[in-house]
Structure 1
Amino acid sequence: MPSGKQIMADEIPVLDLAPLLRGTPGALDDLGARLRRAFTEVGFYFVRNTGVPEALVQAAFDAAARFHAQPLEAKLALPFDSNNQGYLPFRGNTTRMNAVDGIKPPNANEAVFFKRELPPDHPDVLAGKRFRGLNRWPTDLPGFREAALDYAAAMEALGRRLVPIYAAALGLPADWFDDKFREPMFTLRMTHYPQQEPTAPADEWGLAPHADTSFMTILAQNKVPGLSLRLPDGRWIDAPAPEGAFLVNGGMMLRRWTNHAFLATPHRVTNRSGQERYAIPFFMDCSYDAVMAPIPTCVTPDNPPRYPPFTYPEFMGEYSGANYGQRGQAAAGVALQGA
């Protein structure tokens, strides 16, 4: 079935980082205004002239394809765990939390998740802090670990570059978020969407309609279509894929932190392209211990604080096991992010 109406070219704001990187006066304020429009009217924006090499992006897509081409036994040797790390097999999760239009059948994808690379003797690892575990890597894929970590490092750098624009969009000093993103939490998800048959049920999704959990999701453009977005007016639209740009959206963490001033726009994936589809979304959040109270500029007499202050582990723990049934309950898993 078609995923939605073709979007008009000007419906998703575009943030061009070139003036900011050149130090052009007023560039930050201009980008802040564009981002504010993005998150109050659409929920997504494109960012271009990021400085991220296309070859690095392609290497990450190639790494995802290589990982999922392995025998199932090799992938299952890296089982998904309570830290939201590891491999989830095909139809290994069901979108429940943040679901749109009801719970659908299990998602027709397989995925592997990686977080920040920590050494075995890191204090958080030794203390058993949740979501601060060790990544596990395939043993027979030369260069895979390096490609994944290089891409994660580039996305973290891009995310950090974008954070001051969020501050400008919210009427805050450019450095307002700095102490909250000293060491951002992040997840790199490498997803494989096999071809779905034309005769598949209408409610079978590669990834069912949902909103992300993240502060920021950065998605490299995919040459194989399948992603669609739901605008605030209720229309589902096919996501365009301008060359060289990244698509960025916010999730429920951003929405909660901004006291509902910013949107967490639902999206979904189906793969009826006749090709194998891979995606490499990068989900970035604040530091593990940062306290997120409703942002002051988002609190008014008509919009008092909707939530008490919270931290990353408290927020993610709230969603534990929601989307993975028995597998998630056994692992206390939270891997809610997708794209």
Structure 2
Amino acid sequence: MSDTETIPVVDLGPYLAGEPGALQRTAGELRFALTEIGFYFIVNHGVPEALIRGAFEQAARFHALPLDRKMDVRVDKHNVGYLPMRGDTLRTSTVQTVTKANLNEAFFMARDLPDDHPDVLADRRFRSANRWPKDLPGFREAVVAYCDALEVLVHKLVRLYAVALELPVLYFDEPFRDFQYKLRMTHYPYQEALADDDFGIAPHTDTSFLTLLAPNNVPGLSIRTQTGKWIDAPVVPGAYVVNGGQMLQRWTNDVFLATPHRAVNRSGGERYALAFFTDSNIDWPVASVPTTVGPDRPPKFPTTWYTDYMIQYQKRTYDLLADANRQAAE
């Protein structure tokens, strides 16, 4: 494991099957990926192909709706609902000065809380009910089933992260018992010849602890290696792409990477992407784990809470909400 300009492929099969030694071996592969590259593929992950295919079909169904129907569920302060084309600008990017909006549209959903959940009734930030489109039978059920399968996978993955950080294997079980997640169902239209600063999604790092990007036969993702070189992510049939974000940096005191990446659709057709952004329980304080700090390595980040962090990110990123806030103030 010495190649730092190739996204490694990690086989989860032996670990998920409970084979002797697989936990430590797979955790070692993750540690290399997350300290040297920041991205990795996973195969034999256990998510049924039918669920993945169904989620892509639902993304295409939703984005084929007329704009007025999609705008009926436009994104709100909880970051659920429809984000229209060119609706976000990644001003928070630490990689590039971004002034142009992204050439994509997206539907966001979170954990599907019931209408009578205490957090929903209290209108607690980022703990709302989802904004489901009307008259789209089967959409909600297929998307929720897909997220339920990914929730099971995340609970397995965080144990690998614990061992990779030389922590007890169950270290992250409680912080991720009722973890925050967002599924972003993105549509990237075909991009022809564009200026250098036109992107489907501009260079950025995610905010998440980990992101699961669904297997995709249509390429478009590129990542920036630690040498500054941009490389295209290959198509690996059936494999999820996994990466860390800014919250992972805070959990690990910068030991694990939040690698910059971008997307441009030059496939000649439409591109859909399913990104599952995962963070800890909403009330869990995010601070550097014990194995990443010491007398010669003090914490680089203050203790962070999900809500505070995401409010600031959202204010700077989502143009639609910024416009709504300005109108409300006038």
| TM-score, scaled to structure 1 | 0.92
Contact 1:98 1:212 in 2 (8 A): no
> Which whole-Å CA distance do the structure 2 matches of 1:320 and 1:329 have between them?
12
Identify the match of residue 215 of structure 1 among 181, 201, 209: 209
Structure 2 counterparts to residues 285-296 of structure 1, below 5 A? 285-296=279-290
Structure 2 counterparts to residues 102-113 of structure 1, below 5 A? 102-113=97-108
Cα distance, 1:18 vs structure 2: 1.4
Name the residue aligned to 1:336. Answer: none
Identify the match of residue 74 of structure 1 among 64, 69, 72: 69
Name the residue aligned to 1:189. Answer: 184
Name the residue aligned to 2:247. Answer: 253
> Which whole-Å CA distance do the structure 2 matches of 1:99 and 1:87 have between them?
26
Deviates more, 1:168-177 or 1:217-226: 217-226
Deviates more, 1:10-19 or 1:137-146: 10-19
Does residue 316 in structure 1 map to residue 314 in structure 2?
no
Contact 1:82 1:331 in 2 (8 A): no
Cα distance, 1:329 vs structure 2: 6.2
Identify the match of residue 62 of structure 1 among 57, 64, 67: 57
The SS at the match of 1:75 is: helix
Cα distance, 1:269 vs structure 2: 0.5
Deviates more, 1:284-293 or 1:247-256: 284-293
Identify the match of residue 97 of structure 1 among 81, 92, 97: 92
> Which whole-Å CA distance do the structure 2 matches of 1:265 and 1:51 have between them?
26
> Which whole-Å CA distance do the structure 1 matches of 2:169 and 2:322 have between them?
39
Cα distance, 1:245 vs structure 2: 1.1
| Runs of 4+ in structure 1 over 3 Å off | 328-332
> Which whole-Å CA distance do the structure 1 matches of 2:319 and 2:51 have between them?
35
> Which whole-Å CA distance do the structure 2 matches of 1:38 and 1:104 have between them?
31
Does residue 17 in structure 1 map to residue 12 in structure 2?
yes
Question: Which digits, 9 at most, give the CA deviation of each residue in 1:9-31, with x for residues without a partner?
Answer: 98222221111122111111111
Does residue 171 in structure 1 map to residue 166 in structure 2?
yes
The SS at the match of 1:111 is: strand
> Which whole-Å CA distance do the structure 1 matches of 2:146 and 2:30 have between them?
24
Deviates more, 1:91-100 or 1:267-276: 91-100
* Structure 2 gaps, min length 5: none
Cα distance, 1:99 vs structure 2: 4.2
> Which whole-Å CA distance do the structure 2 matches of 1:105 and 1:164 have between them?
39
Contact 1:111 1:189 in 2 (8 A): yes
| TM-score, scaled to structure 2 | 0.94
> Which whole-Å CA distance do the structure 2 matches of 1:15 and 1:185 have between them?
25
RMSD of aligned alpha carbons: 1.6
Identify the match of residue 266 of structure 1 among 240, 256, 260: 260
Contact 1:56 1:151 in 2 (8 A): yes
Cα distance, 1:90 vs structure 2: 0.5
Contact 2:88 2:320 in 1 (8 A): no
Distance change in 2, residues 1:288/1:261 (3 Å):
same
Q: State the aligned residue count.
A: 324
Identify the match of residue 230 of structure 1 among 221, 224, 229: 224
The SS at the match of 1:282 is: strand
* Structure 1 gaps, min length 5: 1-7, 333-339
> Which whole-Å CA distance do the structure 1 matches of 2:80 and 2:218 have between them?
26
Contact 2:4 2:37 in 1 (8 A): no
Name the residue aligned to 1:140. Answer: 135
Contact 1:293 1:308 in 2 (8 A): yes
Distance change in 2, residues 1:158/1:207 (3 Å):
same
The SS at the match of 1:100 is: coil
Q: How much identity, in percent, do the aligned residues show?
A: 54
Deviates more, 1:139-148 or 1:306-315: 306-315
The SS at the match of 1:178 is: coil
Name the residue aligned to 1:127. Answer: 122
Cα distance, 1:178 vs structure 2: 1.1
> Which whole-Å CA distance do the structure 2 matches of 1:201 and 1:60 have between them?
32
> Which whole-Å CA distance do the structure 2 matches of 1:188 and 1:132 have between them?
14
Identify the match of residue 26 of structure 1 among 21, 25, 35: 21
